[in-house]
Amino acid sequence: MSIKVRYFASLKENVGRPEDDLESSGLATVDDVWLRANPNKALPDNILAAVNMEYVELDGVVKDGDEVAFFPPVTGG
């Protein structure tokens, strides 16, 4: 029973790894996921979040099996 966490671009360099696998029990929101994965690091202000590849706010709900992603503002095109 787990939640996969992914990091991209400058945030991936900042946290020093591309992903985490977390035990899902006790995790209700995207914010909870960040805190569990990065207990000593505040989520930088401008970071965006997605659950299962859809944008969500930090209070977005997570459940077992979800993929949660954190990344900086996008700069494509």
Partner 1 sequence: MTIKICSKPFDPWREIQLYQHSAKDMAGKFGATSVFIGTMRDFNEGDDVRGMTLEHYPGMTEKQLEKIVAEAIRQWSIIDALVVHRVGDVLPNDPIVLVAVWTSHRGDAFDASRFIMEALKSRAPFWKKELLKSQAERWLVKNTNGYRQLRNGE
User: 58 vs 71, which CB is nearer to partner 1?
Assistant: 71
Binding residues for partner 1 (CB under 8 A): 6, 8-10, 46, 50, 53-55, 69, 71-77
Q: Give one DSSP letter per residue of 20-73, joined into a string.
A: EEEE-TT--BHHHHHHHH-TTSPPPTT-EEEETTEEE-TT-B--TT-EEEEEPP
Paired tokens of 52: 């299962």
Q: How far is the CB of 20 from partner 1 (least distance, A)?
A: 16
Q: How far is the CB of 72 from partner 1 (least distance, A)?
A: 7
Computed on alpha carbons and rounded to an integer, the radius of gyration of the chain in Å comes to: 12
User: 31 vs 67, which CB is nearer to partner 1?
Assistant: 67
Q: How far is the CB of 26 from partner 1 (least distance, A)?
A: 26
